[in-house]
Structure formats: structure tokens, C-alpha cells
Amino acid sequence: MNITGNTILITGGGSGIGRALAEALHAKGNSVIIAGRRERVLDEVTQANPGMQSMLLDIQDKADIEGFARDAVARFPALNVVINNAGIMKPETQLDLAIAEETIETNLLGPIRLTAALLPHLLAQPRASVVTVSSGLAFVPLAATPTYSATKAAIHSWSMALRHQLKDTSVEVVEIAPPYVQTELLGAHQLTDPAAMPLADFTNEVMAILESAPPSGEVIVERCKPLRFAAESGNFAGVFAMVNGQH
């Protein structure tokens, strides 16, 4: 992926990994548009990064996604990269159906719907990218968040299949799989959890990998490799036990 000279839309760009990537890509000379549901948060980011723009988007709302995509293309005809970053992660005691449905709507259907709405436009660009954000938990699930883990596994599978479908087009498909990172995804405590990877370190490593254009289409930082390659290493059971606090 060329990391400069693009017009990039980032969902969930108001905080966490989304904001960090938005600011890093903005600093590289890209035109960046962040999207999310919280206007105040989006405004804080754009005010801190002159030239960055924002749009409101409810990623759980199918109709809103369709209208948003039309508006985004109209406002930003050079749009050639979408980063599907918006997501939620909530613990489930046994199986909480409300959380499960909300998680699937946000983490899986949201990226699929937005990509489908934008794909005709992206295919018409000389070069374009669809970027998904999965997780190390796509490969080794966390039992406390079963639906989150399942949606990220689905995003990984979907990214692989879409990459194959689009291999002879101008659109590349890139998957970023984060490890446990210092964000507020699971709450404020995660921001300072020493077990989590510092957000700046994660962002810097992701940017370096993106610039090197890995042929696999996967962006896997070193910290995530034990999860990503747990099955291939023959140590899946050990990594699963580590992730789930089993000794």
C-alpha cells in the first residue's frame, strides 16, 4: 500500500487505533477523513490535526451506511482507501445475546456493508485499498469475549476471500491484526495496562509494515505473531491457555 498521496476514510477514527492511524497517515501527506458516531470526539481530532475532515456515521445502521457512502464519494471524489476500523469489544457472561448481536452488527456487518457500498467507486480508481482491522483473537479466541473473537475470525476469512476476488483489479485488500494494545476498547484501565502494547509503538510498526507492502496482504506486528501463527507453530493449545489465563 502506498502510504502517501491518498484520500483515506477511517471509521472509528475518533479514538484508539483509528485515531492513531488517522494522525500517522495525515502526517504522511494523505487527505484523511475520520468517521464515527460521536461528533464532539471527531471535532477534537480534526481541530488537533488541521486539514483532517470528519463525517458522522452509525456503523450499526444499514440505511445510514448507504447514505454515508453516497455522501463520502460526492464530497471526496478522490477517495481511494477505506480503513474499516470501527469496532466494539464487550465481555459476555456465558452468552449474552444482546451483546452478541450488537457485536456482529458493528464488527462484521458494518465493514461488509460499507465496503460493498464503496467498492464500485474504489474499482474505478487507478489504485485503491480496502483495509480491514481484525485481531490476534481472530486466531486464538478469548473465552471472555466469544462473539468479538468470532467476528474478528470472520473478518480475517472475509479479507482473504475478498483479496482473492479482487486480485486482478486495482483494489488491494490489506488486513491489520492488532495484539492487545493500550486503548480504551475494553475500558479506561486498558490505556495503562502494562500487558498491552503501547499505542505509539503499534502505530509506528504498522506504518513501517504498510510501507513495505507485505505480499501476504497481512499486517502482523511482532507482538501479534504468537497469536497469528499459533496453529502453524503447533502450539495452539499453549497459546490458547496463555490467552485465557489457564495454567
Catalytic site positions: 148
How many angstroms separate the CA atoms of 27 and 89, rounded? 29
The answer to whether the CB of 32 falls within 8 A of the CB of 10 is: yes
In which order are the strands placed within the sheet that holds 31-36? 53-56, 31-36, 7-11, 81-84, 128-133, 171-176, 218-219
The answer to whether the CB of 81 falls within 8 A of the CB of 7 is: yes
First to last CA, the chain: 41
Contacts for 63 with CB less than 8 Å, ≥ 6 apart: none
How many angstroms separate the CA atoms of 133 and 95, rounded? 24
Specify the 3-state DSSP secondary structure of 31.
strand
Grid cell 501527506 is found at: 29
How many angstroms separate the CA atoms of 232 and 36, rounded? 36
Environment class of residue 169 by beta-carbon count within 10 Å: exposed (0-12), middle (13-18) or buried (19+)?
exposed
